[in-house]
Structure 1
Amino acid sequence: MEISFIGAGNLAWHLAPALENAGHQINEVYSRRQQSARQLVGILYDAHLQPDLNFADSSSELFILAVPDDSIEAICTEMVLPENAILVHTSGSKPLSILQQFVEVYSDVPVRTGVFYALQTFSKGQPLLEFEQIPLCIEASDKATEEQLVQLGQQVSTIVYLVNSAERKVLHLAAIFACNFANHLLALAKDLTDAENLEFDLLKPLIAETFRKALSAAHPAEVQTGPARRGDQTIMVAHAEYLAAHQPQWLPIYRLLSESIERRYRE
Structure 2
Amino acid sequence: MAADSSSLRIGLLGAGRVASHLGPALWRAGHHVAWVWNRTPAGAATLADQIPGAVAATGPDLKLLPPVDLYIVAVPDAAVAAVLAAAALPAGALVVHTAGALPLSVFDGFANLRGGVFYPLQTFSPGRAIDWTTVPLCVEAGAATDEATLLALARSLSKTVFTVATPQRQALHVAAVFASNFTNHLLGISHALTQQARVPFELLHPLIRETVEKALHHPPFGVQTGPAVRHDSATLDFHRAALAPHPGWLTVYNELTASIQAQNPGAGANNGEPSQL
**TM-score, normalised to structure 2's length?**
0.89
Match of 1:107 in 2: none
Q: Which residue of 1 aligns with 2:19?
A: 12
- Which protein, 1 or 2, shows the higher relative CO under an 8 Å CA cutoff with sep ≥ 6? 1
State the shift of 1:55 in Å: 4.6
The corresponding residue for 1:255 is 254
Letter of the 1:177 partner, please give it.
F
**In 1, Cα distance between equivalents of 2:125 and 2:11:** 20
Partner of 2:196: 195
Per the alignment, in what secondary structure is the counterpart of residue 225 of structure 2?
coil
User: What are structure 1's unaligned runs of at least 5 residues?
Assistant: 105-109
CA contact (8 A) 1:18 1:156 kept: yes
3-state SS of 1:158 partner:
coil
Offset, 1:88: 0.4
TM-score by length of 1: 0.92
Instruction: Tell me the percent identity.
Output: 40
Q: In structure 2, how many angstroms separate the alpha carbons of the residues matched to 1:21 and 1:249?
A: 44
SS in 2 for 1:209: helix
Instruction: Map residues 72-111 of structure 1 onto 2, 5 A cutoff.
Output: 72-101=80-109, 103-104=110-111, 110-111=112-113
Structure 1 contact 22–156 (Cα < 8 Å) conserved: yes
Instruction: Please state which structure has a larger fraction of its residues in helix.
Output: 1
- Residues 236 and 229 from structure 1, CA distance in 2 versus in 1: closer, same or farther, beyond 3 angstroms? same
Q: How many residues align?
A: 257
In the TM superposition, what are the counterparts of 1:108-147 in structure 2 within 5 Å? 110-127=112-129, 129-147=130-148
Equivalent pair of 1:55/1:82 in contact (CA under 8 Å):
no
Q: In structure 1, what is the equivalent of residue 43 of structure 2?
A: 36
Instruction: Indicate the RMSD between aligned Cα atoms, in angstroms.
Output: 1.3
Q: For residue 192 of structure 1, what is the amino acid of its counterpart? A: L
Give ranges in structure 2 of 5+ residues lacking alignment: 1-7, 267-277
Residue type matched to 2:114 in 1?
R
Alpha-carbon distance between aligned partners in 1 of 2:125 and 2:42, rounded to the nearest angstrom? 16
**Equivalent residue, structure 1, for 2:237:** 237
Pairwise CA distance, 1:132: 0.9
Separation in 2, partners of 1:194, 1:4: 45
Which one of the candidate residues 52, 68, 72 is aligned to 1:64? 72
Deviation at 1:125, TM superposition (A): 3.2
Note the C-alpha offset of 1:184.
Answer: 0.3
Runs of 4 or more consecutive aligned structure 1 residues displaced over 3 Å after TM superposition: none
Corresponding residue of 2:225: 225
